[in-house]
Amino acid sequence: MSLHLLLLVAGTAFAGVPARPVQSSPEVKLAVLLSSLRQNHASAMRRAVMGGGAEDLRDAVATGSGETRKRLAGRLPGMAPEPFNICRTLAACPTAPLSLHAEDSLTDSAFQALARPWIKLQEARGKKVVVKLDPGAGVVLELEDMPAWPVVILAAEPAPTGGFDIAVENGPEAAKAYAAAREAVLPAQK
């Protein structure tokens, strides 16, 4: 009887402690948002890439030559050497990548790889990144106190050869803003 009472009191005391909100990084938030989106739209994505896309890519690689063949072969599943392991630090990322190709199962990794330079830049500047998903636009990164380029939009489109092409909207202009902001931050870190 006393054991049950002790457990009841302990359980009540434990249940009464309010949980603290967990702060997550922009990269973790992006991963969660993309996972949720992928689960909600998996069948639509599959329908978008179905058809002759994979066969067209295979045939183009088989008949291509030189640099074209090498570029197309890198788009085949498993053929590109670590395509999303980029920009792990700001110093290692002189230019922000503007686009990546990803197969259906790797779209989250491609979005994260394209977002990473912007997130690392904001971390180095001591500023926040707000990550949102806009069904009409794509992944939206709101960059605190960055007047040259306050919003980065990452959008995906089905590729004719299968999978998706994920790109930074207005890529060349965004790349210039990234390079200028990175240049301003890196000398301060030395």
Dihedral sign of CA atoms 80, 39, 29, 152 in order: positive
Reply yes or no on whether the pLDDT at 164 is more than 80.
Answer: yes
| Lowest-pLDDT choice from 54-58, 65-69, 155-159, 167-171 | 54-58
| Strands (DSSP E) found in 34-145 | 99-102, 129-134, 138-143
Higher pLDDT, 143 or 67: 143
The mean pLDDT value of the chain amounts to: 77
Backbone Cα Rg of the chain: 22
Q: How far apart are CA 26 and CA 137, in angstroms?
A: 18
Segment of 59-68, 86-95, 118-127, 152-161 carrying the highest mean pLDDT: 118-127
